[in-house]
Amino acid sequence: MIAGADNVATELLDMFGEEDLPLPSAMIQRRNQVKKEAFQELFYLFNKCIPVTKTFRGYRLIACDGTRLNLPYNPSDKITLVANIEGRKAFNQAHLNALYDIMNDTFLDVEIQGFKDLDENGAFCRFLIVCV
């Protein structure tokens, strides 16, 4: 099942029809049981299937950089809450670090950090351990 842009009830109706339609709460409960490690493993397995066809003089050109991601306001999420800017209302942000193969246009690894846990250098070191 591929999630689309509609609400859960509409997506379930499209997938199952009216006969064996599960409740949206059942879908949400099952979705919440999927561990983040499962997505990470799928990401790595998917990347193994993509051939490295382009190099620069036999070397892969790889870039590492980070960017901030604005999130919906959630004052109870202390990991992503940014409330230390004087004169501004608090907001939530995460930081995405990415390792990117420039020639083959693929992401090799990503790491999302809370704003309070921001550590681009550490993410780069962890990327090196995984990729080597």
Q: How many domains, the chain?
A: 1
CB 50 within 8 A of CB 60: no
Task: Provide the pLDDT for residue 15.
Answer: 74
pLDDT, tens only, 24-36: 777 778 777 888 8
CA angle 20, 21, 23 (to 5 degrees): 135
CB 79 within 8 A of CB 119: no
Could you give the 3-state DSSP secondary structure of residue 57? coil
pLDDT, tens only, 63-120: 999 999 999 999 999 889 988 778 889 999 999 999 999 999 999 999 999 888 889 9
- Residue 27: inside a domain: no
Task: Provide the pLDDT for residue 1.
Answer: 47
CA distance 79 to 88: 18
Asked whether the predicted pLDDT for residue 7 surpasses 80, the reply is no
Alpha carbon 54 to chain centroid, angstroms: 26
- Residue 34: inside a domain: no
- Residue 44: inside a domain: no
Name the token pair of 79: 């990991």
- Residue 98: inside a domain: yes
Domain span at residue 71 reads: 54-131
